[in-house]
Amino acid sequence: MNITDTTGKLYYIGGCVRDELLGRNPIDIDICYEGDAVKYVEAMGYQIIKIQKDIRTARVIIDGEEIDFASTRKEIYPSAGHLPVTTETGCPLKDDLIRRDFTLNSIAKSVKTNEYKDPTGGIEDLKSGILRVHHNNSFIDDPTRIIRGLKFSLRFGFKLEEGTYRLQNEYLRNVNYDMSKSRLKKELVDCFNLNKEEGFTRFIDEGIYKLLTPQKPKQGLVNIEAAVKKYQIKTPWIIYLGNCDLTMLDLTRQERKIIDNYNILKSLPQSVNNIELDKLCRRMDLESVILWSIFCNPDKGFNYIDKIKALETELTGARLESLGIKGKNIGKALEIIREEKIKNPSLTLEDEITLAKKFI
């Protein structure tokens, strides 16, 4: 992407600078202008496709790609735990950098000179492998920074700086549950979609779960990370946290369905037989069955997923109809044949036909 600047006020900022310093390919490119970014892109003649007037951010197209140019800004938290409010745009760069979560995300790089601006010591913290907040009220302003700290620790192998760790523990002893639910969910999803067993262990052991619920979660009976990989779960977070109290989160209809079905399975006795289990699980999402397998009954659950769930009878409804079976008896016949198939997976087509003829 060809971005040039002659003003000396345009900067790469945040995560993309951090990733470059760590020798990683940046996921996103963040651009910040020390001044009014909207006026800047207008003066540069870029194709503007969207403007956020309140924070003076412009989305433009460069070399066929969309990129946001943000104005530097100051923020305050009028209500602890909720989203911040912008009090000034076009402020000095330093004021924009110190509003961010950790020092390693508060580094800027000049587009014109490639010079780094690092007023909070983020580069040194990167070299030392530590996560440091800017001030003592950081977690009070935004408790979800604790989850981001866990996420960055898992991604980069960094540790919380001693004072930051103390501030985290102090906050977790007295959590203010009046916080932004949307931000809480986003950070939990981002963190646990990394699919790191270590993350869930630390979530419990370090008391980070208290941001979500006062009730301490239990560890899985098997390795969650391995199960998520084996069954290629696209939303690992709901497997890690589905056994927790999620009333703090605004779940989608699909997420709620997964949890509701898991709760149905939780009521089953350990001795449930495979036929009864199949009747319940057959129409459930795989995530519900995996949750039950991990937290309640690994032997029965994973045996069902691996050996029973995908069983298919050779006879179909159309074939049964051709044999002279009609109406509701078709469904009854298919159900009986499936039950026998579960009992005896080596059931042949001839065996199925013999069973089916009882319904003629």
pLDDT digit string, tens, across residues 241-268? 999 999 999 999 999 999 999 999 999 9
DSSP per-residue letters across 308-360: ITT---S--HHHHHHTT--THHHHHHHHHHHHHHHH-TT--HHHHHHHHGGG-
pLDDT in tens, 152-205: 999 999 999 999 999 999 999 999 999 999 999 999 999 999 999 999 999 999
Mean pLDDT of the chain: 94
Q: Concatenated DSSP letters for 190-224?
A: HHHTT--HHHHHHHHHTTGGGGT-SSPPPPPSS-H
Return the structure tokens found at 97.
């950098």
CATH homologous superfamily of 1-123: Beta Polymerase, domain 2 (3.30.460.10)
d(CA 263, CA 245): 11
Structure confidence by residue, pLDDT tens digits, 262-309: 999 999 999 999 999 999 999 899 999 999 999 999 999 999 999 999
Residue 359 has pLDDT above 80, yes or no: no
Cβ contacts of residue 350 below 8 Å, gap of 6+?
none
pTM of the model: 0.91
Higher pLDDT, 346 or 165: 165
Check: CB of residue 176 under 8 Å from CB of residue 146: no
If one counts every other C-beta atom within 10 angstroms of the C-beta of residue 167, the result is: 21
CA nearest to 76, candidates 13, 141, 140: 141
CA 29 to chain centre: 21
- Would you place residue 144 in the very low, low, confident or very high pLDDT band (cuts 50, 70, 90)? very high
Distance, CA of 123 to CA of 213 (rounded, Å): 35
Residue 1 reports pLDDT greater than 70: no
Beta bridge partners of 60: 48, 67
> Does 327 score more than 90 pLDDT?
no
Residue 305 DSSP code: I
- CA atoms in the 13 A half-sphere facing the CB of 20: 14
List the domain boundaries for the chain: 1-123, 317-359
**CA-CA distance, 286 to 315, in Å (whole number)?**
25
DSSP string of 18-54, one letter each residue: HHHHTT---SS--EEESS-HHHHHHHHT-EEEEEETT
3-state secondary structure of 105: helix
